[in-house]
């Protein structure tokens, strides 16, 4: 214990939050690989199993900003530690689930805990480090996130081969318990104005409803047809809830989201560029496995290793970029990073059926370099622009925009990809191409066009 007490608090805070970030990020990437096993174990359709992830996403994203505000008011350590405990209980319930409904409900509980961990972790680290070291700290934290994304698919595949789907959950309980104990024992409370505070419950409810409706619109709209009556009704609900939320926040004495934060140009533009970057990343995340597996014929293991190149590169570059931002500022690094991402996406959109593994890997390395250069300085810019008593809200805003951006990107890219593939398949059939080649050729053409659209969208982030 004496050795621990001799370690500067800032490093204890970073290490504790890193455990939480790793666990939460790992959860996002490890569960998806278990879908085929869950489909067989519970004898349900894939569309039902998808709700294991969808409900987790809906709950965590819709609560992040509310939790961030509660952390600013009631104390970030308290909320963060409670979140870790809920996340751990959720893991236990998931591993004991006897039906798909029980598993989905357990994932909802996990989503609540994840929202509390993810939304406040960055704020805790930012408050613990001096401004001159903020970029370095956030760069190291970004490297941990990349490590979680990298480890998830590989660890999940290993556990499924060696044990069963329940191992995806119960093997992570010990590290979650350790993380909970660390949060309770090592973190210092960052207390806000708990006494005499009137929480903005109407704003919190409207915000949750708005974010949930937005994600559902983009996820279900493609299935229903965006011009269908159901999609139009959901779109109307999204607009109505957004307008109502803004009106409520303008009149609330203590709003859930302080909209005045967006009057700061650095805060507003950094969040805008972050949203466009992760929206474009959603395209890549969804489409790359289709190209590698169905287009080039890679195995699932080969595909996982290839895609991991991005996370490995980001893992190396992010800490360096964060440290550089403390010395030279954030604007140059952010602009260079998102420009490299746009170039990488443009080059990825030129891949075809003759592309070698080296062709693919070099483009993914460039993507990883751009991501590492961009994210740490951009996060530092967002948190540096927020007042100290609004760090929880700023941290939650960052996490929410990241999650919403990538979720909407996946949904929109899926719709565009399906539409393009039908168009190219019909065109190839009319041209007399053999049926055996239509599938691959239409896939690659659709992949190229959809990724190109992502590179154009990402360009908006350069301007921001």
Task: Kindly report, residue by residue over 273-323, the tens digit of the pLDDT.
Answer: 888 888 888 788 777 877 887 788 877 667 777 877 887 888 788 888 877
For the chain, what percent of residues have pLDDT higher than 90? 7
∠202-208-210 over CA atoms, to 5°?
100
Q: Residue 267: pLDDT above 70? A: yes
Predicted pLDDT at 362:
92
**Interval 174-201 mean pLDDT:** 76
Q: What is the pTM of this model?
A: 0.76
The closest of 281, 288, 21 to 145, measured between CA atoms, is: 21
The confidence score (pLDDT) of residue 86 equals 93
Provide mean pLDDT across the span 13-33. 80
Q: How far is CA 373 from CA 52, 129, 138, 340, 379, in A?
A: 33, 20, 12, 9, 11
Highest mean pLDDT among 10-14, 192-196, 298-302, 303-307: 10-14
Mean pLDDT of 404-415: 78
**pLDDT band with cut points at 50, 70 and 90 for residue 14:** confident
**What is residue 191's predicted lDDT score, i.e. its pLDDT?**
63
What local confidence, expressed as pLDDT, does residue 266 receive? Answer: 78
Cβ within 8 Å of residue 123, ≥6 positions away: 68, 71, 76, 190, 383, 391, 392, 394, 395, 396
Q: pLDDT confidence of 195, banded at 50, 70, 90? A: low
**Residue 3 pLDDT:** 58
Q: pLDDT at position 5, please? A: 59
**366 pLDDT tier (thresholds 50, 70, 90):** very high
Alpha carbon separation from 24 to 4, 185, 241 (Å, rounded)? 25, 20, 29
Lowest mean pLDDT among 23-37, 92-106, 158-172: 23-37
Residue 240 has pLDDT above 90, yes or no: yes
Per-residue pLDDT band at 326 (split at 50, 70, 90) = confident
Residue carrying the six token digits 């500022």: 329
Q: What is the pLDDT of residue 334?
A: 82
pLDDT in tens, 124-174: 887 788 877 777 777 777 777 767 766 776 777 677 778 888 888 888 899
Mean pLDDT over each residue of the chain, to the nearest integer: 80
The reported pLDDT for the residue numbered 46 is 63
Do the Cβ atoms of 348 and 451 come closer than 8 Å?
Answer: yes
Task: Kindly give the interhelix angle for 76-96 and 173-186, rounded to the nearest 10 degrees.
Answer: 170
Instruction: Look at 201 and 349; give whichever has higher pLDDT.
Output: 349
Read off the pLDDT of each residue in 59-75 and give the average, rounded to a whole number.
79
Q: What is the structure's pLDDT at 196?
A: 54
What CA–CA distance (Å, rounded) separates 230 from 227?
A: 8
pLDDT tens digits for 202-216? 877 888 888 888 878
> What is the pLDDT at residue 459?
83
The CA R_g of the chain, rounded to the nearest whole Å, is: 22
The reported pLDDT for the residue numbered 321 is 82
């Amino acid at each position: 214990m004496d050795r621990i007490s001799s370690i500067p608090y800032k490093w204890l805070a970073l290490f504790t939050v890193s455990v939480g970030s790793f666990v939460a990020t790992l959860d996002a990437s490890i569960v998806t690989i278990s879908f085929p096993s869950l489909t067989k174990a519970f004898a349900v359709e894939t569309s039902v199993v998808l709700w294991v992830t969808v409900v987790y996403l809906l709950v965590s994203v819709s609560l992040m900003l509310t939790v961030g505000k509660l952390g600013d008011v009631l104390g970030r350590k308290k909320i963060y530690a409670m979140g870790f405990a809920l996340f751990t209980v959720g893991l236990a319930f998931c591993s004991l689930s006897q039906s798909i409904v029980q598993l989905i409900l357990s994932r909802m509980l996990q989503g609540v805990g994840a929202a509390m961990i993810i939304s406040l972790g960055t704020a805790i680290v930012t408050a613990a480090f001096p401004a001159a070291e903020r970029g370095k700290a956030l760069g190291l934290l970004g490297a941990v996130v990349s490590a979680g994304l990298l480890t998830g698919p590989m660890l999940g595949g290993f556990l499924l081969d060696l044990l069963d789907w329940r191992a995806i959950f119960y093997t992570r309980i010990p590290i979650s318990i350790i993380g909970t104990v660390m949060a309770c024992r090592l973190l210092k409370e960052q207390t806000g104005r708990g006494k005499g505070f009137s929480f903005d419950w109407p704003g919190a409810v409207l915000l949750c409803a708005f974010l949930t409706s937005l994600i559902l619109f983009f996820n279900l709209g493609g299935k229903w047809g965006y011009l269908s009556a159901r999609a139009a009704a959901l779109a109307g609900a999204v607009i109505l809830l957004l307008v109502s939320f803004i009106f409520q926040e303008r009149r609330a004495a203590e709003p859930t989201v302080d909209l005045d934060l967006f009057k700061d140009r650095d805060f507003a533009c950094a969040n805008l560029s972050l949203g466009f970057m992760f929206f474009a990343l959603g395209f890549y995340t969804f489409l790359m496995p289709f190209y590698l597996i169905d287009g080039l014929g890679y195995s699932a293991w080969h595909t996982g290793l290839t895609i991991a190149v991005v996370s490995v590169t980001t893992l190396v570059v992010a800490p360096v970029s964060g440290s550089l931002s403390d010395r030279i500022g954030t604007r140059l690094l952010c602009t260079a990073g998102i420009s490299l991402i746009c170039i990488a996406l443009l080059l990825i959109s030129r891949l075809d059926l003759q592309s070698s593994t080296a062709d693919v890997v070099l483009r993914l390395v460039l993507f990883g370099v751009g991501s590492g250069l961009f994210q740490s300085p951009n996060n530092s810019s967002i948190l540096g622009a927020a007042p100290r008593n609004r760090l929880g809200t700023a941290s939650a805003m960052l996490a929410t925009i990241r999650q919403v951006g990538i979720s909407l990107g996946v949904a929109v890219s899926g719709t565009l990809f399906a539409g393009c593939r039908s168009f190219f398949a019909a065109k190839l059939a009319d041209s007399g191409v053999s049926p055996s080649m239509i599938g691959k050729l239409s896939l690659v053409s659709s992949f190229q066009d959809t990724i190109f659209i992502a590179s154009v969208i990402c360009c908006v982030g350069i301007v921001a």
